């Protein structure tokens, strides 16, 4: 190659490199390293494991500190990861799980509300009522009454001859 041709060839290579860099910048997403992707999967697994732990042990005293130590992470790092992968903060998630279990028990058992409160992990009855009201816009007592009322209204159905027949309620 002559001197002029070598310079043009070098210029074309540089132009191609700049063109490629420009296209990469347009995409705007840097390539993710395999280590970073693996770390993200590991973080997600840790949070899912903790969520499963909460679902199994909701009736016990659970704290973010305990779960962070269980996951071998700092309190703040675990808190951020939990929020990122669960979609809510630890306390909201725990309360949601506890209220759902309480709701099931209120609807399907005759266990006193105070006992339900304690078996679902709430240490104070007033706190249980406040959290339940936050999720359902009514107290646990009102919820149970509504469930009983709905069940009684469903007990009587019109029969083909125009009368009513009673259906047995099973517990």
Residue 36 is predicted with a pLDDT of 64
Q: Is the pLDDT of residue 32 over 90?
A: no
Q: Residue 29 has which token pair? A: 């997403």
Give me the half-sphere count of Cα atoms (radius 13 Å) on the Cβ side of residue 160: 0
Q: Is the pLDDT of residue 54 over 50?
A: yes
Buried b (16+ CB within 10 A) or exposed e, 72-93: ebeeeebbebbeebbeeebeeb
Q: Residue 73 has which token pair? A: 């992470």
What mean pLDDT is predicted for residues 103-118? 96
- CB atoms < 10 A from the CB of 115, how many? 11
- CB atoms < 10 A from the CB of 117, how many? 24
Put simply, whether the predicted model's pTM sits higher than 0.75 gets the answer no
Written in H, E and C, the secondary structure of the chain is CCHHHHHHHHHHHHHHHHHHHHHHHHHCCCCCCHHHHHHHHHHHHHHHHHHHHHHHHCCCCCCHHHHHHHCCCCHHHHHHHHHHHHCCCHHHHHHHHHHHHHHHHHHHCCCCHHHHHHHCCCCCHHHHHHHHHHHHCCCHHHHHHHHHHHHHHHHEEECCCCCEEECCCCC
Place of tokens 């259906």: 167
CA-CA distance, 55 to 30, in Å (whole number)? 37
Residue 157 β-bridge partners: 165
Residue 171 is predicted with a pLDDT of 36
Q: Is the pLDDT of residue 164 over 80?
A: no
């Amino acid at each position: 190659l002559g001197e002029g041709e070598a310079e043009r060839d070098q210029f074309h290579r540089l132009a191609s490199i700049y063109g490629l860099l420009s296209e990469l910048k347009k995409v705007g997403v840097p390539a993710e390293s395999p280590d970073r992707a693996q770390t993200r999967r590991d973080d997600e697994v840790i949070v899912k494991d903790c969520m499963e732990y909460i679902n199994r042990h909701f009736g016990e005293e659970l704290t973010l500190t305990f779960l962070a130590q269980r996951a071998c992470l700092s309190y703040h790092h675990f808190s951020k990861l939990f929020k990122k992968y669960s979609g809510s903060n630890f306390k909201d998630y725990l309360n949601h799980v506890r209220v759902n279990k309480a709701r099931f028990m209120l609807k399907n058992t005759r266990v006193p509300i105070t006992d339900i409160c304690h078996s679902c992990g709430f240490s104070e009855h007033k706190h249980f009522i406040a959290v339940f009201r936050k999720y359902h816009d009514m107290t646990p007592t009102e919820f149970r009454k509504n469930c009983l009322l709905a069940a009684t209204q469903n007990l009587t159905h019109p029969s083909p001859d125009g009368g009513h027949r009673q259906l047995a309620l099973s517990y």
